[in-house]
Amino acid sequence: MVPFFSQGSPFDHPVLAGWIAGITAWLTRSSGDGALRQLAFFDLNAALIAVVWMVTVVLVARTAGRRVWDAALVAASPVLILTAYVSWDFWAAALVALAIYLFARRQTLWAGAVFGVAALAAPYVIFVVLALLLLGIRTGHTTKMLEMVAAAAIAWLLVLAPIMAVNPPAFPDYLKNLLASEPSESSIYGGMNLLAKRMGWPGLDVGATNTLATILLVVLVFGLTALALYTPRKPRMAQLMFVAAAGFMVVNKSTEPWDAVWLVPLLALALPRWRPVLVWQAAIITHFIALMLFRSKVLGNLSDQHAIDAPYFLMAALAAGVATCALIGLCIRDMFVPGFDVVRRGAGGDPQGGVLLDPPAAATRALVTGARTDVSDAAETGSPEKDAAETGGEKSLQ
């Protein structure tokens, strides 16, 4: 049975993962039964992810402008080496990298279409697109960004249409199951429940979890809006997209340590600093290993002496969450003080800016920013004096 297409084939992963799982299962149907077919299924998925990984490295290198070496953060990522093969999340990260590449090449509609497909691989893409829309408002390119959103919606519907035609209840049932599911142990809500259970306190039920998660997502949207519209200088596209994706990962009720693969390509473009990125990856890896040891009592039927208890897992999960929030903080600092941003110091502008680098109409800019006007990134890229001034801590020109 193919996930989403066949009735009675439950699948708790997003739609695109169902497509990939169904296709790879069909390709390995002649490999025998039982363990042999399972091994062939894993091997084929692993081979596809390896190819997608290599393509992603090339895309990041081509999108990074002069700093092509920043793609090494993706090529040699310990997080990807350890977790890329435990889920289909890397497909979403690769599609987002492709969309950013197209956007940087001013192929806005095609970028929107890829974003739409990526949204069926992981929901964080919705917040990435929102970040772009907000930057479009900031720069006076609202119409172009709305066209991109429309292209994303059309692509999303085209991928979803065959499922809705063949098995209409499949996608609504997936959404219902998602809302009705318990929070993962790695989420802040699951961690609160583990702590409450340990202390004998009442925990969060599904309704309370959904309500709290919704409130935090709304706070995230307001935070992104404030950063996009009110920083002294327009944030770089990758910076705001990383804050959007990382923020969603922190507040999502279904977050898992392998969701960190979403962030690695964005980090290479937004915060290409090896030391903080490697510290963050060490925290994520610790969280991943702790989760495997914590779940091994049930999944692996291991004895207590070969597993870990809840307090140790909670400490690892908390360390990973704090590390992710620290990277968000560093990104926000770079937005407010561009002199800390190694990309702006080296190249001057936004290598991924695409149409956002074009100067908007004077009337549109006045409507968006009032009496203030930002220096366009198109002018920034040709102004070494501007970069030197920023490095010295001066304000952006008004």
pLDDT score at 296: 81
The DSSP secondary-structure symbol of 236 reads P
- Rounded average pLDDT over 22-31: 87
pLDDT score at 34: 77
Q: Name, in order, each residue with C-beta under 8 angstroms of 290's C-beta and a sequence gap of 6 or more.
A: 308, 312, 313, 316, 317
Whether residue 9 is predicted with pLDDT greater than 80 in this model: the reply is no
Whether residue 394 is predicted with pLDDT greater than 50 in this model: the reply is no
pLDDT score at 396: 36
**In this structure, what are the phi and psi dihedrals at residue 368, rounded to the nearest 5 degrees?**
-80, -45
* Domain edges within the chain: 15-19+35-357
Contact 228, 368 (CB under 8 A): no
Between 298 and 112, the more confident residue is 112
**Which residue, 282, 237, 274, is CA-closest to 100?**
237
The DSSP secondary-structure symbol of 199 reads H
283 burial level (CB within 10 Å; 0-12, 13-18, 19+): buried
User: How confident is residue 345, by pLDDT bands cut at 50, 70 and 90?
Assistant: confident
Whether residue 5 is predicted with pLDDT greater than 50 in this model: the reply is yes
Separation between Cα atoms, residue 173 and residue 177, nearest integer Å? 6
As a whole number, the mean pLDDT across the chain is: 87
Contact 377, 352 (CB under 8 A): no
Separation between Cα atoms, residue 138 and residue 235, nearest integer Å? 10
Name the token pair of 90.
Answer: 């890397």
Contact 243, 332 (CB under 8 A): yes
- Rounded average pLDDT over 348-362: 82
Separation between Cα atoms, residue 258 and residue 373, nearest integer Å? 41
- Rounded average pLDDT over 48-76: 95
Separation between Cα atoms, residue 375 and residue 198, nearest integer Å? 54
Whether residue 379 is predicted with pLDDT greater than 60 in this model: the reply is no
Between 4 and 206, the more confident residue is 206
Report if pTM > 0.85. Answer: yes
125-129, 146-150, 340-344 — which is least confidently predicted?
Answer: 340-344
pLDDT score at 301: 60
CA distances from 227 to 126, 217, 220, 241, 387 (A): 17, 15, 11, 11, 21
CA distances from 387 to 67, 317, 342, 343 (A): 16, 39, 11, 11
User: How confident is residue 393, by pLDDT bands cut at 50, 70 and 90?
Assistant: very low
Sequence letter at residue 15: V
Separation between Cα atoms, residue 371 and residue 298, nearest integer Å? 62
pLDDT score at 397: 28
Whether residue 374 is predicted with pLDDT greater than 70 in this model: the reply is no
Whether residue 370 is predicted with pLDDT greater than 90 in this model: the reply is no
Does residue 65 come out as left (phi exceeding 0), alpha (psi in the -120 to 50 range) or beta?
left
Q: How far is CA 143 from the centre of its chain?
A: 25
- Rounded average pLDDT over 124-130: 97
Helix (H) or strand (E) holding 346: helix 342-347
Helix axes 35-63 and 263-270, enclosed angle (nearest 10):
20
3-state class of 352 per DSSP? Answer: coil
Whether residue 93 is predicted with pLDDT greater than 80 in this model: the reply is yes
Whether residue 64 is predicted with pLDDT greater than 50 in this model: the reply is yes
Q: Which residue has the tokens 């039964």?
A: 33
Whether residue 387 is predicted with pLDDT greater than 50 in this model: the reply is no
Separation between Cα atoms, residue 316 and residue 286, nearest integer Å? 6
pLDDT score at 10: 66
Sequence letter at residue 262: W
Whether residue 127 is predicted with pLDDT greater than 60 in this model: the reply is yes
Whether residue 377 is predicted with pLDDT greater than 60 in this model: the reply is no
Separation between Cα atoms, residue 271 and residue 344, nearest integer Å? 11
pLDDT in tens, 129-150: 999 999 999 999 999 999 999 9
Residues making up the chain, counted from first to last? 398
pLDDT in tens, 316-335: 999 999 999 999 999 999 99
**Which residue, 144, 168, 201, 209, is CA-closest to 364?**
144
Between 1 and 29, the more confident residue is 29
pLDDT score at 7: 77
27-31, 86-90, 153-157, 192-196 — which is least confidently predicted?
Answer: 27-31
CA distances from 97 to 66, 176, 334, 383 (A): 17, 30, 22, 28
- Rounded average pLDDT over 361-375: 45
Separation between Cα atoms, residue 354 and residue 107, nearest integer Å? 8
120 burial level (CB within 10 Å; 0-12, 13-18, 19+): buried
Separation between Cα atoms, residue 383 and residue 170, nearest integer Å? 54
Contact 189, 209 (CB under 8 A): yes
Whether residue 386 is predicted with pLDDT greater than 60 in this model: the reply is no
pLDDT score at 380: 47
Q: Is the dihedral of CA 377, 383, 389, 392 positive or negative?
A: positive
